[in-house]
A and B are shown apart, each in its own frame.
Chain A
């Protein structure tokens, strides 16, 4: 049986919540799909010990007031899609959902760059350990090095400290001058400036090293220390956890499956949208990080715009255009000041694993210039993550771009696939 909605919103975070609320405000019947079991996505993720962040609580309350029109569908993983129908897997069943229009608010994932030892237990993403700590992962008393690039490192360090971890230091790859120039511009975004000031207080006493990156992780069955390249000389830091992320990458797999044109201006593609957030596929809209990394403020505005437009009220969307443009400028600021140092892309050695699912090393990928040939010969990208980690890495290392998206979007049960794939007629 196919359940029908006026608007289906796919994603998890602030953009999605805003989209659902905007669409429902016009009386549309909205289905709100979430792969997670709880509302919030990443930035608004519920914390087992400290609850849901206040802005998220307010947004969820506002959404609840439009309950008559919004149906929240937790643990709904999209497996396959065409522009009117989604094939979705839940823990117990497979369902087909159809809609008049669709809003993609699929967010972003972390950019993980390979280096010797990065596959050791104890090495996680920076946003990764933040998400895990909020899920109840025990970090109390653990010695943690936070590394990589961007403001997310500060947020991750603050969450870790709040959960009782000993944060030994933050290694930011961007040079001190670039980070200072970024901070100087923050006054243009007052909410960001306040956020930065709060974080600075919460992180008091934790060394913040600029121009500094982890070149190697040590350990046999688990992490026991890291080697850091620092402008003041090399460091060895014994630790239990390394939280390392080099920024964010838009999740475009579902958009790609729906045939939406992608923008390839940067290394990692984002969904191409017009001023009303329409993608190139009819009736499909996109909002937030999947349209390019710009952060929370842009995501909320774009979510509202896409929700209004998807419900058939473009004027309400257009009214938000100036604030969208302003919030989007923050994206350029981030990209400019936290650009990756070329050295962070040369850390992997010949025997460093690139494809974690199939244990394919960098040397095994020598000589390949496209993802398909590499996949056929080495199984690189054929594992459970379907190239989401190694494909992104290989694009960043300038080996070859990530291959196209084919169904299923995520590994699925045979029974789910047997219910019919909407992406193939």
Chain B
């Protein structure tokens, strides 16, 4: 952890700081374009259920693809890529 109670990570190369205990979904939503993935047809999609059921928030985290951002706690130094 960096500053007290804050976790710093990167979303598509952009640095973002979130309160400790936040999910990766919260971190992705904190950057300007809060988009998580493109659908089969290319439509933008973002988190829906917030509890690991819908899989709309899936992203690449530290080179592991298809991770549910809402189920993954944000950790210092994580590299998150959307549109995975």
Chain B residues with Cβ below 8 Å from A35 are: 52, 71
Separation of A329 and B54 alpha carbons in the complex (Å):
30
Min C-beta distance of B44 to chain A, whole Å = 5
Min C-beta distance of B52 to chain A, whole Å = 6
Query: Could you list which residues of chain A lie within 8 angstroms of chain B, going by C-beta atoms?
Result: 35-38, 42, 46, 48-49, 75, 109-110, 112, 119-125, 127-132, 135-138, 221-222, 356-359, 383-385, 388-389, 411
Residue in B41, B50, B52, B66 whose beta carbon sits within 8 Å of that of A130 in the complex: B50
Min C-beta distance of A188 to chain B, whole Å = 30
Separation of A131 and B25 alpha carbons in the complex (Å):
11
Task: Give the interface size class of chain B.
Answer: 35 or more
Separation of A128 and B52 alpha carbons in the complex (Å):
10
17 A–B contacts from the bound complex (CB under 8 Å): A37-B71, A42-B51, A48-B20, A48-B21, A112-B49, A119-B43, A121-B35, A124-B46, A127-B49, A127-B50, A132-B70, A135-B22, A136-B18, A136-B21, A356-B54, A359-B43, A389-B49
Separation of A138 and B32 alpha carbons in the complex (Å):
11
Separation of A357 and B29 alpha carbons in the complex (Å):
20
- What does DSSP make chain B's interface, helix, strand, loop or mixed? loop
Min C-beta distance of B35 to chain A, whole Å = 6
Chain A residues with Cβ below 8 Å from B78 are: none
Separation of A358 and B35 alpha carbons in the complex (Å):
18
Contact indicator A131/B50 (Cβ below 8 Å): yes
Chain A residues with Cβ below 8 Å from B51 are: 42, 109, 127-128, 131
Contact indicator A121/B50 (Cβ below 8 Å): no
Chain A residues with Cβ below 8 Å from B66 are: 384, 411
On whether A131 and B70 interact (CB within 8 A), knowing A125-B50, A137-B29, A385-B54, the answer reads: yes
Contact indicator A128/B26 (Cβ below 8 Å): no
Chain B residues with Cβ below 8 Å from A388 are: 53-54
Chain B residues with Cβ below 8 Å from A123 are: 48
Contact indicator B54/A49 (Cβ below 8 Å): no
Chain B residues with Cβ below 8 Å from A125 are: 48-50
On whether A48 and B22 interact (CB within 8 A), knowing A119-B43, A121-B34, A135-B70, the answer reads: yes
Separation of A389 and B56 alpha carbons in the complex (Å):
11
Q: A49-B19, A222-B35 are in contact. List 11 more A-B contacts (CB 8 A).
A: A48-B20, A48-B26, A109-B53, A110-B49, A121-B36, A131-B49, A137-B50, A356-B45, A357-B40, A385-B53, A389-B48
Chain B residues with Cβ below 8 Å from A119 are: 39, 43, 45
Separation of A135 and B51 alpha carbons in the complex (Å):
10
Annotate B46-76 by CB proximity to A: 1 below 8 A, 0 otherwise.
Answer: 1111111111101000000010001111100
Min C-beta distance of B84 to chain A, whole Å = 11
Contact indicator B52/A112 (Cβ below 8 Å): no
- What does DSSP make chain A's interface, helix, strand, loop or mixed? loop
Contact indicator A121/B46 (Cβ below 8 Å): yes
Min C-beta distance of B56 to chain A, whole Å = 6
Min C-beta distance of A372 to chain B, whole Å = 21
Chain B residues with Cβ below 8 Å from A132 are: 23, 25-26, 29, 47, 50, 70
Chain B residues with Cβ below 8 Å from A357 are: 40, 55
Chain A residues with Cβ below 8 Å from B72 are: 37
Contact indicator A122/B46 (Cβ below 8 Å): yes
Separation of A370 and B48 alpha carbons in the complex (Å):
26
Min C-beta distance of B25 to chain A, whole Å = 6
Chain A residues with Cβ below 8 Å from B74 are: 136
Contact indicator B44/A222 (Cβ below 8 Å): yes
Contact indicator B47/A128 (Cβ below 8 Å): yes
Separation of A136 and B19 alpha carbons in the complex (Å):
7
Residue in B22, B30, B49, B58 whose beta carbon sits within 8 Å of that of A109 in the complex: B49
Which of A109, A131, A136, A138 has the largest count of B CB atoms less than 10 A from its CB?
A136
Separation of A267 and B36 alpha carbons in the complex (Å):
32
Min C-beta distance of A76 to chain B, whole Å = 12
On whether A135 and B58 interact (CB within 8 A), knowing A109-B51, A121-B34, the answer reads: no
Chain A residues with Cβ below 8 Å from B58 are: 384
Chain A residues with Cβ below 8 Å from B21 are: 38, 46, 48, 136
